[in-house]
């Protein structure tokens, strides 16, 4: 067995204390320099490690990206089959140090559950970010390839520290211009920075690119000239970027072009690109976010459109499916496509940026949402996972200091979907703020309660899409935009009337429930058996419907809205008590964000209850239940 070992000398270095903290260092406490992976790993240890000697050992037959850390009283050894995996091991070891979990007897085995752990950036070429709440894009296209921002390496470093190994640089509503040779030179410059950190670049592509920038008469996927154009363009990319990852595609969705424009299927379109990528070992991530204004329940349409295509996709195509069947709502049941296409590779798409969860103003820890998803599906077959990034050029990267936790949580769960939210929150708090249990324990509780709280002041009991038209920030359940599609408006979803509220997706309604396997379809089909968190997702029920609490439905809605407002105020109290334990800059920023969140929670409560009261004709309960 061939081995290579590199010894790093015993180091006693201490992290310098600073008087101010602007959040730019994320959960990483030191700035690393280096151009190659092993030199980066050694530099990370040199600048941050305070313990005994560390030895690297490369073993050829070790699993890709996996690493092992073993230690005794004299030294620690990190074992892996690649320099990238050794770097992952270094970051893991430093994380143990930051969280106070280094012992004399270490025996840690780590391996990623998913092969592809990818951020999706919805960044546009003009520097704007669709659903971005932390400033402009990190990518300075006007400066590339000649000027390289130092933030590119810091971005790569942060991702490598949590095992993320891919990034889609541009918006799924893609401009064809990203495939112009001039732009590809800029993409190459980013790929060169990211490579030592184990991160591959991917691009979102516009399906009409052959006609728009290739001057062909068509973009029909079965046209020979179109097939040759994609082959030539793909070959050009790989000449510039030999480790290019592949393409992400949004097609025939919300006005984006696709194969259906030519009478072809999603499989025809995906396979066109897959064939061009296959010689280079690239992949196609084909999004399943499709729906048409055809009168059918929007929650059903992706399942209806894609399940007939099972088994017709190339083996280097992965169907990318949002976690729920509507659109990144505060809470949704899992998407019924998961488990419905056994002959097709599928991957979940999460949204890290909080489009429907208060943008960068609300503290909402999303690991609890994602954990609920993983508990609902069979994730064993997933070989990829995507997260819509929440990064921007703000100093602290994500706008809200606690929004950084969602970036961190995505990476940790992509590596290991079995991790518990409390474990992730504990790690992040200790690495980002403090190991002081007087800080960690109450703030961790706040984080773990935050998602359920947000659901309850926005869309309790299975309500969904009550948001203001277009920007999706505040409540507007009454919204009525002339000439707008019905399924872009809240009334389509809540269906409140004098009889009751909720969307009937039972076998007597849209029958969306039948897209789920037994016994779920039977359980969710009956309101008495349906979990109350999904109740109004699947059922239209009278205002006086009896709930498990003994309250009627209307009073339960009042209870949820009122209780969540009180909960946010409790969050404010928890945070206010931490002033002596947190640097002043981040303390004040979180405090001000919680003030906004408390105001918004009241806004949501009042707007929704006052509007729904016009139908229920019942008094708004005071909250003294």
Q: What is the mean pLDDT of the chain?
A: 94
Active site amino acids: 254, 327, 355
Residue 104, pLDDT score: 87
Query: d(Cα 154, Cα 50) in Å, to the nearest integer?
Result: 22
Cα–Cα nearest to 331, from 453, 218, 511, 462: 462
In degrees to the nearest 10, what's the CA dihedral of 521, 527, 532, 536?
A: 90
Give the count of beta carbons closer than 10 Å to the beta carbon of residue 11: 15
Domain residue limits, the chain: 3-110, 116-419, 460-503+540-616
Residue 2, pLDDT score: 38
Cα distances (Å, whole numbers) of residue 401 to 36, 96, 332, 363, 473? 30, 22, 26, 9, 19
Q: Which ranges constitute the DSSP H helices of 241-366?
A: 266-277, 298-306
Query: d(Cα 94, Cα 44) in Å, to the nearest integer?
Result: 9
Q: Which CATH number fits domain 460-503+540-616: 3.90.1330.10, 3.90.650.10, 3.30.9.10, 3.50.50.60?
A: 3.90.1330.10
Contacts of residue 31, Cβ cutoff 8 Å, sequence gap at least 6: 25, 47, 154
Cα–Cα nearest to 538, from 555, 521, 517: 521
The two structure tokens encoding residue 624: 């003294």
For a pLDDT cut of 90, what percent of the chain falls above it? 91
- pLDDT one-digit tens code per residue, 121-131: 999 999 999 99
- pLDDT one-digit tens code per residue, 133-150: 999 999 999 999 999 999
Query: d(Cα 262, Cα 220) in Å, to the nearest integer?
Result: 6
Average pLDDT for consecutive 10-residue bins of the chain (625 residues)?
37 38 80 72 95 93 92 92 97 96 94 97 98 98 98 98 98 98 98 98 98 98 98 98 98 97 98 98 98 93 98 98 98 98 98 98 98 97 97 98 98 98 98 97 98 98 96 96 93 98 98 98 98 98 98 98 98 98 98 98 98 98 65
Residue 53, pLDDT score: 94
Q: Was domain 116-419 assigned CATH 1.10.390.10?
A: no
Q: Which fold has domain 3-110?
A: Chitobiase; domain 2 (3.30.379)
């Amino acid at each position: 067995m061939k081995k290579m070992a590199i010894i790093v000398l015993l180091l006693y270095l201490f992290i310098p204390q600073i008087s101010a903290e602007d959040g730019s260092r994320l959960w990483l406490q030191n700035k690393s320099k280096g151009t190659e992976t092993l030199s980066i790993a050694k530099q990370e240890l040199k600048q941050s490690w305070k313990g005994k000697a560390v030895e690297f050992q490369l073993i050829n037959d070790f699993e890709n990206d996996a690493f092992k850390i073993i230690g005794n009283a004299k030294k620690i050894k990190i074992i892996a089959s690649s320099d990238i995996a050794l770097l992952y091991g270094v970051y893991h070891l430093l994380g143990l140090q930051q969280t106070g979990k280094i012992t004399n007897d270490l025996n840690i085995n780590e391996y990623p559950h998913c092969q592809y752990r990818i951020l999706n950036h919805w960044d546009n070429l003009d520097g704007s970010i669709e659903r971005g709440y932390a400033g402009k894009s990190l990518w300075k296209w006007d400066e590339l390839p000649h000027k390289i921002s130092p933030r590119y390496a810091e971005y790569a470093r942060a991702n490598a520290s949590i095992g993320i190994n891919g990034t889609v640089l541009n918006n799924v509503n893609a401009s064809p211009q990203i495939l112009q040779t001039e732009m590809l030179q800029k993409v190459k410059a980013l790929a060169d920075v990211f490579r030592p950190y184990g991160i591959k670049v991917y691009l979102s592509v516009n399906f009409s690119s052959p006609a728009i920038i290739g001057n062909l008469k068509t973009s029909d996927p079965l046209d020979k000239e179109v097939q040759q154009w994609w082959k030539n363009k793909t070959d050009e990319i790989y000449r510039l970027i030999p480790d290019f990852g592949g393409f992400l595609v949004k097609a025939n969705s919300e006005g984006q072009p696709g194969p259906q424009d030519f009478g072809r299927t999603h499989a025809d379109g995906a396979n066109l690109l897959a064939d061009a990528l296959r010689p280079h070992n690239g992949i196609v991530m084909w999004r399943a976010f499709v729906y048409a204004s055809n009168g059918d329940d929007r929650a059903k349409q992706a399942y209806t459109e894609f399940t007939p295509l099972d088994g017709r996709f190339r083996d280097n195509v992965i169907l990318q499916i949002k976690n729920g069947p509507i659109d990144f709502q505060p809470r949704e049941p899992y998407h019924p496509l998961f488990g419905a296409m056994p002959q097709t590779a599928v991957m979940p798409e999460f949204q890290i940026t909080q489009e429907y969860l208060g943008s960068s103003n609300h503290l909402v820890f999303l690991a609890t949402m994602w954990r609920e998803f993983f508990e609902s599906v069979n994730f064993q077959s997933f070989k990829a996972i995507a997260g819509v990034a929440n990064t921007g050029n703000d100093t602290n990267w994500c706008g809200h200091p606690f929004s950084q936790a969602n970036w961190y949580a995505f990476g940790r769960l992509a590596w290991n979907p079995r991790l518990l939210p409390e474990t992730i929150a504990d790690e992040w708090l200790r690495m980002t703020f403090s190991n002081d249990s007087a800080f960690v324990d109450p703030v961790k509780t706040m984080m773990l309660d935050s998602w359920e709280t947000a659901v309850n002041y926005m869309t309790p009991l299975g309500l969904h899409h009550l948001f203001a038209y277009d920007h999706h920030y505040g409540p507007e359940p009454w919204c009525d935009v002339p000439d707008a599609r019905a399924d872009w408006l809240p009334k389509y979803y809540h269906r409140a009337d004098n009889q009751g509220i909720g969307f009937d997706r039972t076998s007597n309604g849209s029958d969306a429930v039948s897209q789920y396997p037994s016994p779920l379809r039977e359980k969710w089909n009956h309101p008495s058996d349906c979990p109350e968190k999904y109740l109004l997702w699947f059922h239209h029920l009278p205002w006086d419907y009896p709930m498990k609490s003994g309250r009627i439905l209307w009073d339960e809605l009042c209870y949820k809205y009122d209780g969540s407002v009180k909960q946010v105020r409790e969050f404010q109290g928890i945070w206010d008590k931490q002033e002596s334990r947190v640097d002043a800059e981040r303390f004040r920023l979180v405090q001000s964000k919680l003030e906004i969140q408390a105001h918004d929670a009241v806004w949501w409560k009042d707007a929704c209850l006052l509007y729904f009261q016009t139908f229920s004709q019942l008094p708004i309960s005071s909250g003294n239940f």
